[in-house]
Amino acid sequence: MKVYKTADYAAMSKKAANIICSLVVLKPDCVLGLATGSSPVGTYKQLIEWNKEGYLSFAHVKTVNLDEYRNLPVTHDQSYRYFMNDNLFDHVDIDKSVTNVPDGMAADIEAECKRYDALVASLGGADLQLLGMGHDGHIGFNEPCDEFPVGTHLVDLDPMTLEANARFFDNDPKKVPNQAVTMGIGTIMSAKKILVVVSGADKAGIVAKALLGPVTPQVPASILQFHPDVTIVADEAALAEYIKEGGKVCD
Ligand code: F6R
């Protein structure tokens, strides 16, 4: 696992964008696994800028997103499909028909989960999966639980997650959809490379736990310790506890 420390969110975003950019340049038809939330927004902004400047093309890139709220129409400005269009796809030269987000509106959600797993497998898995990290250690929407879920599944969101995401729903946790469809830990771990972006002092405790603590489904991100190619790009504030506890960072 490589851990890079940056001064702040802006530097984190630029470094993460550099890592994604280098992959797309070397493999223009790569499959990118993408995330939503606040953590990757700056990374997407940087990628858009480089795309506009002509340094980087998404013309042959395919994407698979981690997750989507249950029963939130794609036209809702907090749906993850809307987020991805708004924060990346609408601003770059990607073919939107090969950008994939689980269908949270599907009537038969079990069939949708199976379809999504088959889709990811048919693409050969993600060449790089971008992740954020929740305050309870969730990745995708894999919340703390007793066993690591393998495939795409429907999940009940934790009160901590509803609280954290209330900022997007009039600061009212009751307005946050309480379920989501998410790739499983098995699907996430099948990505060839994993890139995690984390920022802010409020994530310092969970970052230290996930990277240095025991690997347990109670801290879903701890599973990343077992992946052969993980890069963490985090700002100083998010790495404070990790460094205090003796965690190593790259030069
Ligand atoms: C988003 C996702 C979540 C977020 C996590 C952190 O697609 O799967 O795991 O990455 O909730 O969210 P932010 O970045 O908003 O702190």
Q: Provide the whole-model pTM.
A: 0.97
Give dist(CA 96, CA 144) in Å, integer.
Answer: 33
Question: Ligand 1: distance of its center to the CA of 195 in Å?
Answer: 13
pLDDT at position 76 is 95
Q: Which of 12, 68, 131 to mutate to test the pocket of ligand 1 (most atoms within 8 A of CB)?
A: 131
Q: Ligand 1, atom 5: nearest CA belongs to which residue? A: 134
In one-letter notation, the amino acid at residue 73 is P
The two beta strands, 128-131 and 193-198, are: parallel
Question: Ligand 1: distance of its center to the CA of 87 in Å?
Answer: 14
pLDDT at 251 > cutoff 90: no
Residues recognised as catalytic = 67, 136, 138, 143
Q: Whats the size of the chain, residue-wise?
A: 251
What are the pLDDT digits (tens) for 43-85?
999 999 999 999 999 999 999 999 999 999 999 999 999 999 9
Which atom of ligand 1 approaches the CA of 200 most closely? 16
What are the pLDDT digits (tens) for 21-49?
999 999 999 999 999 999 999 999 999 99
What are the pLDDT digits (tens) for 175-231?
999 999 999 999 999 999 999 999 999 999 999 999 999 999 999 999 999 999 999
Q: In what order do the strands lie in the sheet with 230-235?
A: 2-6, 230-235, 193-198, 128-131, 31-34, 62-65, 99-100
pLDDT at position 116 is 98
